[in-house]
Structure 1
Amino acid sequence: MEVRYICPTAYDSSVYLVNGKVLIDAGMSSDLIIRELEKSIKLTDLELIILTHCHYDHTAAAAEIAEKSGAKVGIHRADLEGVNDEYLSVSVLFGDRAPAVKPTVIYEEGDRIPIGNEEFLEVIHTPGHSKGSICLYEPVSKSLFSGDTVFPGGGFGRMDFEGSEPEKMLGSVEKLTKLDVKNLYSGHGAPNDRDGNKQIMASYTMLKMMMGV
């Protein structure tokens, strides 16, 4: 699996181009992201944009990227409504309207998304940060795209937004501890390519401490 990491500004989510045809999250700065993509691919080669959850900093640029590339946009069913709601998408916190993107591909737990080269991403539903947060696992390279569920260094996503489900977060992170992860590609910050399992376990431990479990 070939992954290109794109981080247009400090406020955008991390954006990942996978195998030259699948984009994981879209950030907010569409012009910057499109310019970065065109350094590697023809924009029309992009086939799919997968949104790890409905929040504005991950989704705002998706509509323009999809329009210019012809790519489909997918999201978990539980965040389908939230992506176009200014409160559930938290666009109101950025002083903007909700994203205009209209996902047409709906994911559920356990779905397998082909990404070329006979590889796939497995959808893991991890509610907590949002109702429809997902992580994406590629088993051959032992890679996890974790969205805003967990971050390197023991971090995990905020659970105080409208639509967050804090009571489900611990179970979601525990689910991730059962995977064999080497490469951790989180929704913010640079990728970790050495000890993903250790990073996820640190997040789980920190979350348990915070919750007093």
Structure 2
Amino acid sequence: MIDRIITSGTFSLDGGTWAVDNNIWLVGDAREVVVIDAAHDAAAIAERVGGRTVRAIVCTHAHNDHINAARDLAGQTGAPIRLHPADQVLWEQQYGDAVAYEPLTDGEKIAVGGITLEILHTPGHSPGAVCVYAPDLGALFSGDTLFKGGPGATGRSYSSFDTIIDSIRSRLLTLPAETVVHTGHGESTSIGAEAPHLEEWIARGH
């Protein structure tokens, strides 16, 4: 079971603020779910969760628009917040040292609703960016690492174009072509749809 909630709010970094719509993904079954990216509106996410157990709140990275509902959702559900520690500096911009999380590690597997989610560390958009791969579902939850039409933005602090390209090439485009890519913003795509355009992105990025 994959469910999407779209919430709206703002993203702030490097002194600028932008209006954004975020995808929040719920993965699991009728009894339990993992929430991927608790953005903007904890109440809306909790309503969609309903009476199910939240096994974890997985943050694909620590830009504020992907984590700003994590504390409240954790408080309502009792679920642990999970984040790759390389994004600590971004986490502190939102929460300081007031909110704890459990570190995610590359290759870690999270079981929920009879399926397995695998954590892929894919730095570039941010140092601790991860994607969540669900081979049982033929799905990848890419956060802001890969979108329909290209890689995530790398023009702000703590990001790197060369690093994100390397992450996409080595960690994502090696997945089966039919893998559906559920992104942090906008429409879903597939590995097969994006893979042929890698060289175009590199030329555009440089």
What TM-score results when the alignment is normalised by the length of structure 2?
0.84
1:204 aligns with 2:203: no
> Do 1:13 and 1:26's aligned partners in 2 also have CA atoms closer than 8 Å?
no
* Alignment of 1:142 onto 2:150: no
Offset, 1:103: 4.1
2:27 is matched with 18
Instruction: List runs of 5+ in structure 1 lacking aligned partners.
Output: 86-97
1:71-150 mapped onto 2 (5 Å cutoff): 71-85=79-93, 98-99=94-95, 102-117=99-114, 119-150=115-146
SS in 2 for 1:14: strand
- CA drift at 1:187: 0.5
TM-score (norm 1): 0.81
Aligned residues: 190
Instruction: Spell out, residue by residue over 1:27-79, the C-alpha distance to the aligned partner (whole angstroms, 9 max, x if none).
Output: 11223333333xxx216x21210000000111001100000110100011211
The 2-side partners of 1:22 and 1:203 are apart by 31
Question: Higher strand fraction: Structure 1 or Structure 2?
Answer: 2
Any runs of at least 4 consecutive aligned residues in structure 1 with deviations exceeding 6 A, and if so which? none
Report how far residue 9 of structure 1 moved. Answer: 2.6
In structure 2, the CA distance between the partners of 1:60 and 1:6, relative to structure 1 (3 Å rule), is: same
Q: Which amino acid aligns with 2:103?
A: I
Shift of 1:205: 3.5
Q: Which is further off, 121-130 or 76-85?
A: 76-85
Q: Distance in 2 between matches of 1:158 and 1:203?
A: 16
For structure 1, which segment, 201-210 or 179-188, has the greater mean C-alpha deviation from structure 2 after superposition?
201-210
User: Do the aligned partners of 1:74 and 1:103 also contact (CA within 8 Å) in 2?
Assistant: no
Q: Aligned to 1:71, what secondary structure does the other structure show?
A: coil
Q: Percent identity?
A: 29
Comparing 16-25 with 161-170, greater Cα deviation is found at 161-170
Q: Is the 8 A contact 2:151 2:164 kept in 1?
A: no
Distance 1:36 1:190 in 2: 20
Aligned to 2:186: 189
Query: Which residue number in structure 2 is paired with residue 90 of structure 1?
Result: none
**CA–CA distance in structure 1, aligned partners of residues 197 and 42 of structure 2:** 31
The secondary structure found in structure 1 opposite 2:7 is coil
Deviation of residue 102 (structure 1)? Answer: 2.7
Give ranges in structure 2 of 5+ residues lacking alignment: 10-19
Report deviation, 1:189.
1.4
Residues 47-62 of structure 1 mapped to structure 2, 5 A cutoff: 47-62=55-70
Q: Is residue 2:18 matched to residue 1:6?
A: no
